[in-house]
């Protein structure tokens, strides 16, 4: 598959403090992003996610290493013109309406007037802001600002879209709306490089992920390759048994309304519980096996450092 973005052994140093000392933020970052995939770039605060993005965009320059976009050096205008970018904390001219805002950026890309109008209408429809086209941005909610920011990142019809924490600060409905847009962009053949620390959303939509901690990528690959399918535990909700009857069979999590929730870590204990329920004529309401999640992998990776 065609490689859209490639970083090879990228290092970045900054001078910090009153008496400047060099601090290495990126320590040999290497990754590749294939055409048409959603690539999740994960890490705790201060891990180097935004610094990586700034290097890709040419806002800062790596001290060592190579970055290529569409097979070209990342500073080449031909590579940059096919990029779209939504920063974590974008600045908006909030006295402009949504339509005026997008028209301003379209003019920066020298899009002709007739084409601008078509493109703006299409983007407002994509992000669900058709009815707010003439509303000033200062009257937008946080979720609406994220969506208009995403529309701005798409105004030049980019092939590669870089998103820095696009889900931050949004409620569950807002996160779903952004997720749906990202999935639709993939369906249109676009490539998305998504920085985030909201792991549940990443797990839902990303094809591959990389986990960066302390400036180093410690794990990367497809979720199927990284996450074990082995059962970590099984959660059983039952009624008709005294919690004391379950002693030694698992970890009792809660008991409410006559029901007991117990987490079982050993498979042989599950059969013992089933036999006990049958013999005591109790009742099982649910039995849910729990496999490893992206959150489990992330926490394990970060704690190992």
Where do the domains of the chain lie, and which CATH numbers do they carry? Answer: 3-225 (3.40.50.300), 231-292 (3.30.70)
CB-count exposure of residue 171 (10 Å: 0-12, 13-18, 19+)? exposed
Give the pLDDT confidence of 221-248 residue by residue, as tens digits.
887 777 766 667 788 888 887 777 777 7
CB-count exposure of residue 228 (10 Å: 0-12, 13-18, 19+)? exposed
Residue that has been written with the tokens 């970045």 in this structure? 12
Give the pLDDT confidence of 242-270 residue by residue, as tens digits.
777 777 777 765 666 678 888 888 778 88
Question: Do residues 212 and 41 make contact, with C-beta atoms less than 8 angstroms apart?
Answer: yes
Give the pLDDT confidence of 62-120 residue by residue, as tens digits.
999 999 999 999 999 888 888 999 988 878 888 999 999 999 999 998 989 889 999 99
Return the higher-pLDDT residue of 18 and 134. Answer: 134
Residue that has been written with the tokens 């590579």 in this structure? 79
d(CA 299, CA 114): 50
Across 179-193, b (16+ Cβ under 10 Å) vs e yields bebbeebbeeebbbb
> Which pair of tokens denotes residue 27?
């320590």
Tell me the average pLDDT of the chain.
86
Ramachandran region of residue 274, left (φ > 0), alpha (ψ -120 to 50) or beta? alpha
Q: Which of 108, 105, 113, 114 is nearest to 137 (CA)?
A: 105
How many CB atoms are located within 10 Å of the residue 15 CB? 9
Ramachandran region of residue 3, left (φ > 0), alpha (ψ -120 to 50) or beta? beta
d(CA 108, CA 295): 41
Question: Do residues 194 and 166 make contact, with C-beta atoms less than 8 angstroms apart?
Answer: yes
Amino acid 172: pLDDT: 82
Kindly report whether the global pTM for this prediction surpasses the value 0.85: no
Which of helix, strand or coil describes residue 292? coil
> Which pair of tokens denotes residue 12?
């970045």
């Amino acid at each position: 598959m065609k490689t859209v973005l490639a970083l090879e052994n990228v290092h970045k140093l900054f001078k910090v403090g009153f008496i400047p000392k060099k601090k290495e933020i990126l320590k040999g970052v290497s990754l590749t992003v294939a055409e048409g995939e959603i690539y999740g770039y994960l890490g705790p605060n201060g891990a180097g996610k935004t610094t990586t993005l700034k290097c890709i965009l040419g806002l800062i320059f790596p001290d060592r290493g190579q970055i290529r976009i569409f097979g070209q050096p990342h500073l080449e205008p031909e590579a940059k013109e096919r990029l779209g970018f939504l920063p974590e904390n974008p600045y908006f001219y909030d006295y402009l309406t949504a339509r005026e805002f997008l028209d301003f950026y379209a003019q920066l890309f020298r899009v002709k007037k007739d084409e601008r109008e078509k493109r703006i209408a299409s983007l407002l429809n994509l992000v669900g802001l058709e009815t707010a086209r003439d509303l000033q941005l200062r009257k937008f909610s946080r979720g609406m600002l994220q969506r208009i920011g995403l529309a701005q990142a798409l105004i030049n019809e980019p092939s590669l879209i870089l998103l820095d924490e696009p889900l931050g600060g949004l409620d569950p409905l807002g996160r779903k709306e952004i997720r749906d847009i990202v999935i639709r962009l993939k369906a249109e053949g676009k490539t998305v490089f998504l920085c985030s620390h909201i792991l549940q959303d990443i797990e839902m939509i990303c094809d591959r992920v990389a986990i960066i901690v302390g400036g180093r990528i410690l794990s990367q690959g497809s979720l199927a390759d990284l996450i074990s399918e082995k059962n970590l535990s099984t959660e059983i909700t039952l009624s008709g048994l005294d919690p004391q009857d379950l002693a030694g069979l698992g970890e009792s999590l809660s008991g409410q309304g006559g029901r007991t929730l117990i987490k079982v870590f050993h498979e042989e204990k599950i059969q013992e519980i089933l036999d006990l329920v049958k013999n005591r004529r109790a009742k099982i309401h649910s039995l849910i096996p729990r496999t490893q999640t992206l959150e489990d992998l992330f926490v394990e990776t970060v704690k190992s450092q």
